[in-house]
Each structure stands twice: as C-alpha cells, then as structure tokens.
Structure 1
C-alpha cells in the first residue's frame, strides 16, 4: 500500500459523535430559531420531528455505505464507484464548494464576536488568526482535529443543557419569575398550537432541514475512524435522537416560557433565560458560546473539505498533488487549498459583498439538498450492486426501499417549497446552472491531455 492510502484511523466514537453534533448544532439554535418560530409557532417542534425523521433515514442510507466502505471522500467515492465518474465528480465538488461557503460565512462572523469584547480589533485580524490556528490544527493529525472539535462541541452542548435546565426551573418552580411557575400554557394560548395553520409548519420545513446540515460529516469521518464497523453505526443511531432532543427540547422549553409571537423581539431567548435566573453575564456567556460555535463549524468544514478534496484526487477528479499526505497521515495539501479558497471568497465578499453573498449563498442553499439526494440515490445503486453480488449490508437501512423513496420525495417537496417562497426561489433557479457548471468542469477535466 502506498503512502497516499495510509490515512490514520485516529477518531474515536466520542470524537465522531461530537463532530456531527458540532456541525449540526450551531448559532442557528441560539439566534436563527426565532425566524422559524415566527413561521410555525409552537408547532415548529412538529416540523423538527418530521425533518429529523427524514434525516435519520438519509443518515442510515449513508451509514449503510460507510460501514461497507469506510473511506475518505465518503459519498463522493460511493457515487463514483456505484453510479459513475460524472456523479462522483459532481457529488464531491458540490460538497466541497458548499463547505467552502460555510467556512467563509463562519470565518466572517468570528471578528464580529471578538469585537463584542474588543471593539478596536479589526474583524479581518480576528478572522485571519482563526484561519491560521484552525488550519494548523487540521495539518497536525486527525487526533488533534478530533480532540479540538470534541471540546468545541461540548461547550455548545453544555450551553443548551444549561438553557433547558434553567428553563425548566422557571416553568416548574418560578425561578427568575418571582417564585411564580411559568407553566406551559404559552404553547396554546396565543392563537393555538398551530397559529399560522399547517401552511406555517410546511413553510418552516425548509429552514428546519437546513438547520440539520452537517450531520453527514459522520460519513466523512469513516476513513479515519478507529473502528468504523462499530463507531459509525453507533454514531449514526445516536446522533439523530440527540439532535432532536437538543433542538426540540430547547425550543419546547423556550416556547413554554415566552409567547411564540414575542420570541426574537427582545434579543436571543438564550440570553433572556440566563438573565431571568440571575446570571448577569448572560450576554457575555452567549457571545462566548456562539464564538466557539462559529470556530467549531469552521473547523469541521475545513476538515471535511480536506478529506473531500483528498478523495477527489484519489479518484482522478482533482489534481494528484491533493492526494499527498504528510508524515501524520493528514492530506495537508488538500487542507491548505481549501484554506486558500476561503481567503479568496472572504476577499470577494469584502470587495462586492452584496452580489457575491447573494449568488454563493443561493448555491449553498440548494447544494445541501443535492448532497442529501445524492446520498439516497447512490444508496439505491449500492443496494442493487449488493443484491446482484448476493451480499447483505452489515448495517442495513430500515424500511428499505420505501424509506429511500420517501426521503427523495420529501427532499423534492422541500425544493418545491423553496420555489414557492420569494426569498428562496432564486436558489431553485440557480440549481440547474450550478449543475451545468459542474458538468462543464467534468468535460474540461476529461478533455485535458
């Protein structure tokens, strides 16, 4: 086996669990949840339950392949192997570009959070320091990345647990409310549980699904998991219910304490809960949490991008130099190239922020759906190949093939909802253009001598 194939298996189950949690639980829960609540009211919890159920099946589809083939590059490699060169090319580059944008967005807000404490530091300086430190961590070895991401994610998880515990203290015992229990009537007294009808729940599904973006990082880690046949199934089976617990648990507590139509009107509910129970530094605490959330998301995005580029290079769909590993078994060139593109996109967003962000975020929005749909489509191809070879997957997707087709139908429905919503309609229009660009890139690559 040559050196290019010797990525190190240094990620333990606890690392993989927190990597996926860190990717899926971000600043959206602390800030962005308010806009979803305004759409659906208390019924937003049902939207999360429905969306989380579909994500579970998508993750099981990915897990079925990841346990059978625990390789770097994840579903791009599976698409390449079971569907063809073009789908593998599109899946890999679509995923990589999506997370370059994620890196760009997370990096751009780091400076804003630092300025809360140190307003005199230019935002670009904070962003640059973050970029250098995180890039260095990602080039040491996979254990350094895993350990860093583990502790970043722990901070977010503890913050959410703290919010739930203190919220329950307000609901049951009136802590921070003059000893008067808040109760749970806010779930229905302000226009009912469905204040905006079923339409509100349906429209909220788009943002709910986007909030789950990042769970597929479990598949990316398969190539470096210490015992993928054990840790990947455990991580996938546990990650979805943990995310549902954190999202639904936290939002239910918030919706019990505050009328749904007032959430977001007076700042983050997270700050309000900690303020009400007598923690004056609530705003500073939140700023610390969202700062670590942003750095965590950037860290995970850079890791996944490095591995995806490495996988593409192994396929021949990216320059061969990107398959080079350092002595620690890390694809250092792929990590550095991903970092370099992050710098370029940050520069572009600085020079012409309105147009650049409009187009790039439109592509990012639809590329998440493309990623998940690709996972399910490739899983169907994978299962056909297994059946032809008279093999049975070690980690079978439940309710196959019904769950696969239902998941695809659901994702198609989400795209339809996006086409209905004026603010997101542009994403649907840009999708065929983006896929055409990838197709042209594939043809150019194949025509090269």
Structure 2
C-alpha cells in the first residue's frame, strides 16, 4: 500500500466518524449563558453608559428582546431537522448553497476578528500585573492561554463544554457579587470619597432617564449590540448536544431572564452607586465599583475575571469556527482537510488553523490609536453578526412559507412568526443607521462590502461543486439515508 493510498484510507475513516453528542443539559445551559454575557458587558459597558446614561438599560433590554426572536427562529429550524449541524446547514438547505457559503465563512471571519481583539485584550490584562516593560512576557502568557484552549478543545467536545461551564460560572459569580455589593451600598447609604451617596435616585436625578436625549439613546446601540455577540453560539452545538429537543428549548427560553438579570440589573446597580456622568468610560465599571467599595484586591480579582471572560470568548470562537469549517468542507465550500475528525470526533484542522490565525494578532502594532482600531474591529464584528442573524430570520420566513404544515406542527414554534421576523429585520436596519453616527463605526461599515466582495469571488470559484454536493445530499435524503461525505461529487474549480 502506497503512502498516498494509506492517507486516503485515514481520511475516509475519519470522515465516517461523526461529531459526538457529548454536551449535556448543564453544558448547553451554561454555554448559552456564556454567549449571552459577552465581553462587551465587562469592557464596553462604561462607554455605553457614558453615551446613553440610564437609558442604556432600555438599550440592552430592547436588543435582548429582539435577539430572543432570532434565537427562537433558530431553535425551531434546528429542531425541524436534527440532521442540521448548525444554522449554516439550514441556511444552505433552505435558501440555497450560496447562503450556506456566505453565512458559514462570515461567521468564521467574525469570530476570528473577535478572537484577535481578545488576544490583544488578554495581553493587556497580563500587563496589569506585569507592567508595560514586560509586554513580551504578557504576549508569551497570552500565547500559552491560546495553546491551552487548543489542547483542551482537541481532547474532546465534552471538555470544551466543561471549560465553558466554568468560564460561565466565573462570569455569573462576578455579576451576582457586583449586584450584591451595590445593593448593600445603597441600603447602608454608602458615601464615596467625593461625597456622593449611593441611591436609586441616581437613575433619574442627573438629567433624567434620557439625559443625552434621543441622539444619545441611539448612540448607545453602537457598542451595546457587540455585547450580545455569541448569543447564537448554542446554535453551533446542535450536532453535539445530547437530547437537543429538550436542552435547546430550555437554553433559549432562559435568555430573557438572563438579559434582564445580567445586563439591566447589573448596570442599574452600577449607576445607583455612581451617577452615570461620573463613570469613567475607559475603565470597566465593574472594577471601579469594587475598588470604590474598598475591598482588598478587588481590582486585581476583577481583572482576572475580565481576563477569563476574554479567554471564554476566544474559547467559544475556536469551537464555533472549527465546526463551521467542518460543515463548509462537507459541502465542498472549504478545503477537504477540514472534514477530518480525530478518533473522539473533533475537527482538529479547523481548531489548529483558527488558533494560528487568531494568534497573528500579536503582530498588530500597539499604537496610541489602538482604542480607535479596537472600536473599528468591534463594529466590523457587529455588522457581520447582524448579517448572520438576518440570514437566520430570512430562513425562518422562507421555511414557514414553503412548509406551513411543518411550522404548524412544530414542537417549538417561534412566537409571532408572521410579524416578528420583519420587526427584528427592521430593527437591524436601525442598528446599521446608528453605526453611521460615529466615524470609527462608519469606517467599519465602509470596509464590510470588501469582505462580501471576497466571498463573492470565492463563491464563483466553488459554486459548481457546492451545488453538485447539495444535489447529492438531497438525493441521499430522498433515498432515506445520508450520503457518504467522502464520496460527494467533485468538479473542476472546487475544493476536494
């Protein structure tokens, strides 16, 4: 047997293995929780408060309300066919292979962008303890964190679930502690060194609930939407979830309560202790509040919490993007090597490539304009996620019109399905308009078409083989079996 033949046998054997349903209910619940509590809550809430004042509470509530319907649409579609590995699969099935290609690669790129930003942020968190003179060591430690996440993801999907479970627990404990400390400070009438007494009245006594008027309220949406990036992460776990018909609805249904508690209540607690116009937008209000309370080592503890939050974001990105590449490769929309699984059912190539690309963030120049650059990256990721969320809603609209009986008999119907998809899509247009009101976020909007231009060229390159693979998959379904992923048709110009 030749070396080439032996390698083909290994690849074919790997392709016959499937993703393992190893994520339990508690994993899914906490993965959904971790997705709902984005890094933006810890890092970006100070700036959003400075833009909108107490009205930021309505901003987060409105965004959470709208995205709940995106999640419900995604949940109904994933449970419609358990063969769907993720929303990339149902986009390709319902709208056509082009939609799967665009949403899959856009989702991959979005998480890579976020991961690179998180790597830069994690380096900064290490510098909090080491100092700027030891930046090289901070970069080494950040690389070590990324390699540790890679190794644990390669071990098994169950270990990924355990990692995210404990990352989410850390976020949960931090927020509950903040709300508890802030409540105590309000009850005892805590007075800060500058003479400000903690009080619920701070929510309306400094210019009212809308102190920055409607313009400030609109500007609050610019960064607030980034805090929700990752809320759809539970949709990439569908193929690896034990008993998805039970666990997915439970995770999605809990989202409104989580948004209310972890965003609205937490930020209200912060503003009850420190008036919104006295909050420093460049410092995490979580760190500021614990420091104000005089708790020993509080700033360092919260720095560690925020570091773990950024690591959690990276971990989520590594996981989700590797699964997207796996799904794209099965449809001949990505290089065939991404179809390979380890013996425990992990798509290892996607994990390795994603980590390598994310770690390239070390080559970014940390200049005085880094904050502005970070803001552009955040806005770019937000725009790309708006595209992904919109595709999910469009898929539900088409599915409902194409197969009304399936929707009528669905065990997990999207509420308000005749109207809410259009309401949410209109809301996304409003978000895009809000992003034009700031020069940095407008820059991100301006460069976004370049990404879709690149995707257009990529689709032109693989469209023939991707459509043929989709036809083969459909034929296999009609015959009552899944087609062999290793024997999908190929054609000139496509990935094999």
Q: TM-score range by the shorter chain?
A: over 0.9
- Distance across 2 between alignment mates of 1:235 and 1:349: 37
**Partner of residue 436, structure 1:** 453
**Partner of residue 213, structure 1:** 229
**What is the TM-score normalised by the length of structure 1?**
0.93
**Partner of residue 79, structure 1:** 91
Deviates more, 1:228-237 or 1:65-74: 65-74
**Partner of residue 32, structure 1:** 44
- Where do 5+ consecutive residues of structure 1 fail to align? none
CA deviation profile, 1:324-369 (whole Å, cap 9, x unmatched): 11111111112112122223x4255249997987876554232011
- Distance across 2 between alignment mates of 1:424 and 1:408: 20
Q: CA deviation at 1:131?
A: 1.4
- Distance across 2 between alignment mates of 1:63 and 1:284: 39
After TM superposition, the structure 1 = structure 2 runs for residues 283-302 of structure 1, keeping only pairs within 5 Å, are: 283-302=299-318
**Partner of residue 60, structure 1:** 72
**Partner of residue 26, structure 2:** 14
State whether structure 2 residue 493 is matched by structure 1 residue 448: yes
Q: 162, 172, 178: which one pairs with 1:157? A: 172
After TM superposition, the structure 1 = structure 2 runs for residues 130-169 of structure 1, keeping only pairs within 5 Å, are: 130-169=145-184
Q: CA deviation at 1:71?
A: 5.2
- Distance across 1 between alignment mates of 2:366 and 2:210: 44
Cα 1:417–1:410 change in 2 (3 A) is same
Q: Is the 8 A contact 1:8 1:142 kept in 2?
A: yes
The aligned length equals 448
Root-mean-square deviation over aligned CA pairs? 2.6
Q: CA deviation at 1:290?
A: 0.8
Cα 1:325–1:285 change in 2 (3 A) is same
Q: 397, 421, 443: which one pairs with 1:426? A: 443
Helix, strand or coil at the partner of 1:190 = coil
**Partner of residue 103, structure 2:** 91
CA deviation profile, 1:275-321 (whole Å, cap 9, x unmatched): 34341211111111011111111111100011111111111111122
- Distance across 1 between alignment mates of 2:284 and 2:115: 24
Q: Is the 8 A contact 1:72 1:307 kept in 2?
A: no
State whether structure 2 residue 126 is matched by structure 1 residue 126: no
- Distance across 2 between alignment mates of 1:163 and 1:342: 31
CA deviation profile, 1:111-154 (whole Å, cap 9, x unmatched): 22223223436232112101110000111111100001110110
**What is the TM-score normalised by the length of structure 2?**
0.84
After TM superposition, the structure 1 = structure 2 runs for residues 270-309 of structure 1, keeping only pairs within 5 Å, are: 270-309=286-325
CA deviation profile, 1:165-218 (whole Å, cap 9, x unmatched): 01000111235769x973211111111111111221122123222211110001
Greater C-alpha radius of gyration? 2
- Distance across 2 between alignment mates of 1:167 and 1:389: 48
